[in-house]
Amino acid sequence: MISIRFNSSDNEFAKQIRKITGYSPRNLKVYKLAFTHKTVANRSENTKFREDNERLEFLGDAILDLVVAELLFFKFPLKDEGFLTEMRSKMVSREKLGKLSEKIGLQNLIHFDITVGARKDILYTLGGNALEALVGAFYLDHGYKKTVRFIKKKIIEAHLDLKELEESEISYKGKLFEYAQKNKKVVTFQTLREFKKAKSNFFEIQLLIDNEPIASETNHSKKKAEEIVCEKAWKKLFAEQS
């Protein structure tokens, strides 16, 4: 085992990692990297390699998907693949991971350029990414078996109600944004028109992916129109791929 000497700041950081994961960190550097956003990352002059949390996020995302899939497979032995896929989407959606990161205190550990913004949706995205990166860092530090225990005990059992998730409706907006982020695509909404009908306001909303129109929807609620147009877009995208 490698012995690491911490300074007072490192000691406090190590205590926070232990509180969050249930294990003392052995390689503190990899955890620091897990909370380093690309806006404040160091870049090598020779290789142009950027020291940020995106590689750890990639690793943690894959591990989290595997652990959740395995848990659901044995938890629901009589459910089909569609149910299991939908449950996994609910558990590891970008919105859910962002909320979980806030609950366990990750957002206070992230190093990022404040000019990126402090809106709640941005903080949720940064937090969700950091949670995945933390899983990746923990795996490198402690191995797969302890990572499974950390995810099950400190994330799933502590903060997720599987029965409640089973009964909740899936958000196509959340699924679409998760798909877009993983595939480096940009989702935008455009208000094509706003009009009155029977003394009520109506909105025609168009959804674009990488500036390409995908679907549109008209509704008296802009939020509802966005959710419906996301469902249309999701079904259209994956109908074309099947």
Residues with catalytic annotation?
61, 132
Residues 6 or more apart whose CB falls under 8 angstroms from that of 54 comprise: 38, 129, 133
Task: Residue count of the chain, please give it.
Answer: 242
Measured in whole angstroms, the distance separating CA 185 from the mean position of its chain's CA atoms is 15
The whole-angstrom separation of Cα 148 and Cα 143 is: 9
Cβ proximity of 202 and 218 under 8 Å: yes
The whole-angstrom separation of Cα 221 and Cα 139 is: 44
